[in-house]
Amino acid sequence: MSEPTPEYYKKMLGGVKADPYRICKLYDIKGGPHEHITKKCLRGVNKDDGINTELDLIKVLRGQLDRWEEMIKEDEHLLDPKKVQEGERYKINASHFNFPSSGVIG
């Protein structure tokens, strides 16, 4: 049997649950760090996640924002300079990373 729905997912808006993922969809926020940070902001102080105060929340959000910024900078290194001028980005795939050909890491 599944766990009961936490209270923060039971808020209603327009006859449906105002789930953070539904709100992200409404604002066309498609996954990744942006969606995760939005969810954390909407849930706010949440002792289930170890976020006991607003200062805890700010610390968690700051860490997530810093990592998101790092990811963007890492991705910029995977761009083709010619395509950047044309406004296109490379699609990232496994060949961009130094994975062993066996697929086994370590």
Q: What is the number of structural domains in the chain?
A: 1
Q: Is residue 16 part of a domain?
A: yes
- The secondary structure of residue 100, as a DSSP letter, is -
Q: Is residue 106 part of a domain?
A: no
Instruction: Point out the residues of the chain with pLDDT beneath 70.
Output: 1, 79-106
Q: Is residue 44 part of a domain?
A: yes
Q: Is residue 42 part of a domain?
A: yes
* CB hemisphere CA count around 79 (13 angstroms): 15
Q: What is the pLDDT of residue 93?
A: 57
Q: What is the pLDDT of residue 34?
A: 92
Cα diameter, the chain:
54
Alpha-carbon distance 38 to 99, whole Å? 32
**Which secondary-structure segment (H or E) carries 22?**
helix 20-26
Q: Is residue 80 part of a domain?
A: yes
Contacts of 39 (CB under 8 A, 6+ apart): 20, 21, 24
Q: What is the pLDDT of residue 7?
A: 74
Can you say whether the dihedral through the CA atoms of 67, 35, 45, 52 is positive or negative? negative
pTM for this predicted structure:
0.62
Q: What is the pLDDT of residue 74?
A: 85
Q: Is residue 70 part of a domain?
A: yes
Q: What is the pLDDT of residue 87?
A: 52
**Which secondary-structure segment (H or E) carries 57?**
helix 54-76
Q: Is residue 25 part of a domain?
A: yes
Q: Is residue 98 part of a domain?
A: no
Question: Is residue 47 a contact partner of residue 65, using CB atoms and an 8 Å limit?
Answer: no
Q: What is the pLDDT of residue 106?
A: 46
Q: What is the pLDDT of residue 60?
A: 94
Per-residue tokens: 89: 């980005």
Q: What is the pLDDT of residues 74-88, one digit of tens each?
A: 888 776 555 555 555
